[in-house]
Structure 1
Amino acid sequence: MATLSEAYTETPLHLQHIIPIDFDSVKEVPESHSWPRSGDESPRRILSLDGDHFSLPAIDLDSPDAIKMVGHACKVMGIFQVTNHGIPSSLLREVESQAWQFFSLPAIAKVRAVRSPGGATGYGVARMTPFFNKFMWHEGFTMMGSPLEHAREVWPHGYGKFW
Structure 2
Amino acid sequence: MAEVQSVQVLAASLGAIPPEFVRSEHEQPGATTFRGGAAPEVPVIDMSEAGCGARMAEAAREWGLFQVVNHGVPAEAVAELQRVGLDFFALPQEEKERYAMDPASGRIEGYGSKLQRDLEGKKTWVDFFFHNVAPPPMVNHDIWPKNPVGYREANEEYCRHMQRLTRELFGHLSVGLGLEKGAMREAFGGDDLVLLQKINFYPPCPQPELTLGVAPHTDMSTFTILVPNEVQGLQIFKDGHWYDAKYVPNALIIHIGDQIEILSNGRYKAVLHRTTVNKEKTRMSWPVFVEPSREHVVGPHPQLVTDETPAKYKAKKYKDYQYCKINKLPQ
TM-score (norm 1): 0.58
Q: Any residues of structure 2 matched to 1:12-161 within 5 Å, and which? A: 19-21=5-7, 22=9, 23-38=11-26, 43-45=31-33, 56-60=42-46, 62-70=52-60, 72-74=62-64, 80-117=66-103, 118-125=106-113, 130=118, 133-145=121-133, 148-149=141-142, 150-152=144-146, 155=147, 159=149, 161=151
Shift of 1:95: 0.4
Structure 1 residues 160 and 91, CA gap change in structure 2 (3 angstroms):
closer
Q: CA RMSD in A?
A: 4.0
Secondary structure in 2 matching 1:162: helix
Identity %: 21
Deviations 1:7-40 (A, max 9, x none): xxxxxxxx89x74322224443223322232288
Quick one: higher RCO (CA 8 Å, sep 6+), 1 or 2? 1
Secondary structure in 1 matching 2:24: coil
Secondary structure in 1 matching 2:111: strand
Secondary structure in 2 matching 1:105: coil
In structure 2, runs of 5+ residues without a counterpart are 134-138, 154-331
Deviations 1:72-98 (A, max 9, x none): 434xxxx65332433211100100111
Distance in 1, Cα, partners of 2:58 & 2:107: 32
Q: Which has the larger radius of gyration?
A: 2
Secondary structure in 2 matching 1:35: coil
Q: Which runs of 4+ in 1 moved over 4 A?
A: 39-42, 46-50, 128-132, 158-161
Bigger fraction of residues in strand: 2
In structure 1, runs of 5+ residues without a counterpart are 1-14
Structure 1 residues 48 and 28, CA gap change in structure 2 (3 angstroms):
same
Structure 1 residues 111 and 29, CA gap change in structure 2 (3 angstroms):
same
Structure 1 residues 41 and 87, CA gap change in structure 2 (3 angstroms):
closer
TM-score (norm 2): 0.33
Secondary structure in 1 matching 2:59: helix
Say if 2:100 and 2:110, in contact at 8 Å, map to a contact too.
Answer: yes
Shift of 1:101: 0.7
Specify the code of the residue in structure 2 equivalent to 1:108: E
Structure 1 residues 42 and 24, CA gap change in structure 2 (3 angstroms):
closer
Secondary structure in 2 matching 1:63: helix
Structure 1 residues 131 and 142, CA gap change in structure 2 (3 angstroms):
farther
Specify the code of the residue in structure 2 equivalent to 1:35: R
Secondary structure in 1 matching 2:53: coil
Aligned residues: 136
